[in-house]
Structure 1
Amino acid sequence: MALKLCGSPISTRTRTVAATCKELNVPYEFVNVDLAGGEHKTAEFTAAHPFSQIPYIDEDGFKLFESRAISRYLAKKYAGDNTKLIPTGPKEEALFEQGVSIESSNFYPSAIGYASEKVFKPYNVQYDSQTRAADCLATLNVKLDAYDVLLGKQKYIGGNEYTLADIFRLAYGALALIQGGQVALFESRPSVARWWKDISNRKAWLEVIEKGV
């Protein structure tokens, strides 16, 4: 039975899991969750994901939600000789964990904050989204200055090998930069630009972009 990925083709977190699957060559069946129709609020859905969010996976009855947890599970279960998205050496794994940690604390909050104001929320004259977007953008700029220093010393966020630490930044990086109109955020920083060009042109991610999931 194929792994089922239950989510939405426009969901950043669903795309994160899809990119992980493709990097690992793990076949999966995509199950589109009708968010507009409230499918994520049904009893059947909440039995698998009590928080009514996407995505979750179903692998022969084993259900797991939270994209980072799903990606870690897949990376460990399906690691091959040539594909290791989580390093195993003590120092290598420590650098990987450092990279994952700064994603959740120094990239995600500002990136999702900016994307929420500029992409997710409809324009509403009664809602001042510009102020918060500007604040998030200013914070993101400071964080990316530090990223440029880090990436000047190593090839990827989690060391010198491509890992989940990089995959975790793809969806929101693309959303904030491309749809949010902030391509210069990365392009103006040479090490960040080099890194982003590398990871955003990987075959697995391009397939996700092309097919949705």
Structure 2
Amino acid sequence: MVLKLYAEIVPEAGSVLVAMVLLEKKIPFELVPIDYSKGEHKTPEYLALHPFGRIPMIDDDGFILYESRAICRYLAEKYADQGTRLIPTDLRAKALFERGASVEVSELFPQLMKVGAQLVFNPLSNVPTDEAALAEGQAALAKTLAEYEFIFGKQRYIGGDEFTLADIFHLYAAPILIKAGFDVITDKGPNVKRWWNDLVSRPSWIELQAGIRSVAMY
């Protein structure tokens, strides 16, 4: 049974992480498109599989899994020897990968979401911008990216000198802001810019900009 991915046709946020892993690992899958505007994520049938009613979700021959980072780790380990190796096996290299993944979720992601709340999500809900909260979020984000600039002065990727799942995790929030016209990455220093351009130049990322398609075989 081919793996099923429940996601948007044009992925964002967590869906894009899972789709990137599927393409990088060359994993056959079937897309089950979920239309938020029609409430397809809140139907009784969908909620029976995903109690929070969100996407992405996978069905791997009856094994149901949600939460994008958990899905990505599962796929990267199940298909470890297929496609791009996304989680190192060497103990120290894996420790650096885990450090990079922790940095993303604890240091960068919260700052991106603070800025995103004011610049992207509040306007979508017709909520006025909180200028004080925006300034605080932008200052915190600038500080974090200055630390990233230092890190990338010493290594090529966030988890060391090899591209890993920790780099893919960074594609959750930043592209949403950039697509909305707020470039929060590429103007923050040459090392960060070099790393970010490397990520968004990958064939898997370029392919996803046109939308996800079911892939029966590679």
TM-based fold match above 0.5: yes
Q: Distance in 2 between matches of 1:170 and 1:20?
A: 11
Cα distance, 1:209–1:129 mapped onto 2, change above 3 Å: farther
Aligned pairs (5 A) from 1:1-213: 1-8=1-8, 9-80=10-81, 83-122=84-123, 127-183=128-184, 185-211=185-211
How many angstroms does 1:115 deviate by?
A: 2.1
How many angstroms does 1:210 deviate by?
A: 2.3
> Which consecutive segments of 4 or more residues in structure 1 shift more than 4 A?
123-126
Please give the secondary structure, in 2, of the residue aligned with 1:4.
strand
Cα distance, 1:125–1:42 mapped onto 2, change above 3 Å: closer
Deviates more, 1:108-117 or 1:12-21: 108-117
How many angstroms does 1:138 deviate by?
A: 1.5
State the superposition RMSD in angstroms: 1.9
**What TM-score comes out, normalization by structure 2 length?**
0.89
Structure 1 residue ranges without an equivalent (≥5): none
Q: Distance in 2 between matches of 1:26 and 1:126?
A: 41
Deviations 1:51-108 (A, max 9, x none): 1111100111111000000000000011226621001111000000000001111111
Query: Structure 1 counterpart of 2:148, which letter?
Result: Y
Query: Structure 1 counterpart of 2:191, which letter?
Result: S
Cα distance, 1:27–1:81 mapped onto 2, change above 3 Å: closer
Q: Distance in 2 between matches of 1:125 and 1:75?
A: 39
Please give the secondary structure, in 2, of the residue aligned with 1:181.
coil
Please give the secondary structure, in 2, of the residue aligned with 1:58.
strand
Please give the secondary structure, in 2, of the residue aligned with 1:145.
helix
Cα distance, 1:150–1:55 mapped onto 2, change above 3 Å: same
Query: Structure 2 counterpart of 1:200, which letter?
Result: V
Q: Is the 8 A contact 2:11 2:208 kept in 1?
A: no
Compare the two structures and name the one with the higher helix fraction.
1
